[in-house]
């Protein structure tokens, strides 16, 4: 462990979680459009409040390091589920890239599950 490790871990957590936080806030501003997209993809639009809550609250836990392992586990599962439901059309190159993006993010989150949030967190290495 180097002197920069705690800062790198905190920065990594923040960068990794920021995608979800931004996405959740954006969904608030485009609620009806997002609900329509979900329903067109076969997902119940009634789940949107749960999705928004997950995308806002869980990333905040990761950023602060508050039960970050559990939060990262939840978001990894969410990323894999979203990839399977919304980005499974491999005939569309953009959807293929989005699928791989979600799977890659899940991989990064699972590294956080395995290694913990680091020293600069509210619950280090739990």
What residues make up the domain containing 81?
A: 5-115
Q: What is the pLDDT confidence band of residue 2, given thresholds at 50, 70 and 90? A: confident
Does residue 125 form part of some domain?
Answer: no
* 8 A C-beta contact, residue 48 and residue 31: yes
Give dist(CA 109, CA 102) in Å, integer: 10
Is 122 within a domain? no
- The answer to whether residue 126 is domain-embedded is no
Q: Based on the structure, what is the number of domains in the chain?
A: 1
pLDDT in tens, 20-75: 999 999 999 999 999 999 999 999 999 999 999 999 999 999 999 999 999 999 99
Decide if 123 is inside a domain: no
How many Cα atoms within 13 Å fall on the side-chain side of residue 36?
4
One-character DSSP codes across 83-102: HHHHS--TTSHHHHHHHHHH
Average predicted confidence (pLDDT) for the chain: 95
Residue 124 lies in a domain: no
Measured between alpha carbons, how far is 79 from 50 in angstroms, rounded to an integer?
14
Q: 13 in a domain, yes or no? A: yes
């Amino acid at each position: 462990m180097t002197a920069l490790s705690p800062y790198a871990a905190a920065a990594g957590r923040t960068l990794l979680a920021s995608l979800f936080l931004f996405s959740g806030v954006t969904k608030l501003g485009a609620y009806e459009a997002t609900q329509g997209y979900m329903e067109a993809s076969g997902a119940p639009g009634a789940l949107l409040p749960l999705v928004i809550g997950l995308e806002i609250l869980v990333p905040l836990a990761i950023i602060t390091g508050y039960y970050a392992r559990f939060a990262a586990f939840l978001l990894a599962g969410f990323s894999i589920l979203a990839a399977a439901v919304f980005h499974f059309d491999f005939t569309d190159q953009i959807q293929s890239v989005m699928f791989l993006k979600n799977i890659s993010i899940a991989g990064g989150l699972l590294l956080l599950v395995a290694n913990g949030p680091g020293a600069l967190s509210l619950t280090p290495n739990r």
